[in-house]
Amino acid sequence: MENAGNLEQKPLFNELQQGRELVKQLQMHLDPSYSEETRNMLVEKILSSFDKAISMVKWVSSDGEARPTGTTPVDSPRSDSGSPHSEDSDRRDIYKKRKTLPRWTEQIRVSSGTGLEGPLDDGYCWRKYGQKDILGAKYPRGYYRCTHRNVQGCLATKQVQRSDEDPSIFDVTYRGKHTCFQGSHLIPAMGTLESSKQMLKQDQVHHQDHLPEQQNEQQQAQEILFHFKTGLKVRTKDLDTGEQQQQQLMTSSFSFPSTPFECLKTENHIFSPPTVDHYFSGNLSPSFLSPATSESNYFPVSPCRVNSFGGGGYRNLQTSESDLTEIISAATSGTNSPIVDLDFPMDFDPIFPFNSPDFFPSCS
């Protein structure tokens, strides 16, 4: 986190700026000719924006440590199938690391109206590697890991489990941060649509990695982004205040376009922050229905594309192990704003040539 300081300020700055913009918009909309709904939405967005900014401040000030043991994120665990010994210890390390990896859970509600259920797309490219029946749970739990695991050594994983009581709710537990550069990270939100498609078929995912702190931050940021874009509504339990408000927000009117940005899939996602910003600021179109298909098994899967959820809202996030997580969540819950920039700062070098074609690998 060397230059984290500055980097982190950017998102904060963006957040504040956004808040200001929203206030301006609200001001314009004070005109009675605008619907009350619109005004409420703006108010919520503004609140959310400030909440996020606050979260960021907290985050920055407490930046600390959530760093998992290993600071070497990337390296595919098994890549070196060399010595048997190492393989063995590798595996053990993995377990150990796993424990220390930041982990957080999000509850995502999928709209069931359309028959689609898939919601959970966080913009990352996930590959399902397992499914298991969990004791006491009606539905099996799906295990997903980052598609780029082998290529980039991204250890992020996620578990998706459908709620017993409310099948429309999926508990998604993320573990580890993404160390890979997928477009999704950045533009994750969009990934939602397609993801849903897949998700429909599958369960849930989990993702995470043990990344260094930077990565953590990144991830968080990314997550936030996702949610935003995706229109997901996620919340962290830990978040204390503001959440409800935020939630309302989310639930209320906003949804992100599930456009194909993301779909840009990994290949191009170059997420340009600005773009994202624009998105948020201006267009969040309410397209809730996801085009995705409807075949579903248990869970929706989200590959790398976008899904849009139908209207649901996320419910709680539980979690967490670290403050970061909380922060993240908080931010996440904030929702509608463009926090996009957060990611950048943390992950990438500002000067990084995102446009470079080879920068992003492809998702599938």
Kindly list the residues in this chain that would bind DNA in the complex (CB under 7 A).
77-78, 88, 91-92, 94-96, 98-99, 125-132, 134-136, 141, 143, 145, 147, 157, 159, 175, 198, 201-202, 206, 297, 301, 303, 363-364
- Residue 163 CB, nearest approach to DNA (Å): 15
Closest contact distance (angstroms) between CB of 227 and DNA is 21
Contacts of 286 (CB under 8 A, 6+ apart): 253, 254, 255
Q: What values do phi and psi take at 182, rounded to 5?
A: -110, 155
Selection from 240, 325, 346 nearest residue 65 by Cα? 325
* Beta carbon of residue 198, minimum distance to DNA (angstroms, whole number): 4
Q: Which is nearer to DNA, 46 or 125 (CB)?
A: 125
Nearer to DNA (CB atom), residue 41 or residue 125: 125
d(CA 145, CA 128): 6
CB of 75 to DNA, least distance (A): 12
The nearest distance, CB 257 to DNA, in angstroms, is: 23
Indicate the residue among 231 and 303 with the shorter CB distance to DNA: 303
**Distance in angstroms (rounded) separating the CA atoms of residues 247 and 335:** 8
176 vs 273, which CB is nearer to DNA? Answer: 176
CB of 120 to DNA, least distance (A): 12
Nearer to DNA, 180 or 301 (CB): 301
CB nearer to DNA: pick between 63 and 171: 171
Closer residue to DNA (CB): 34 or 359: 359
Amino acid at 350: P
103 beta partners: 175
The least distance separating DNA from the CB of residue 4, rounded to whole angstroms, comes to 28
Please give the structure tokens belonging to residue 133. Answer: 């029946």
Between 41 and 101, CB nearer to DNA: 101
Q: How far is the CB of 251 from DNA (least distance, A)?
A: 28
CB atoms under 10 Å from CB of 228, counted, come to: 34
Rounded least distance, CB 7 to DNA, Å: 30
How many Å apart are CA 175 and CA 159, to the nearest integer? 8
> Which one, 249 or 363, has the nearer CB to DNA?
363
Give the pairing type, strands 317-319 and 169-175.
unpaired
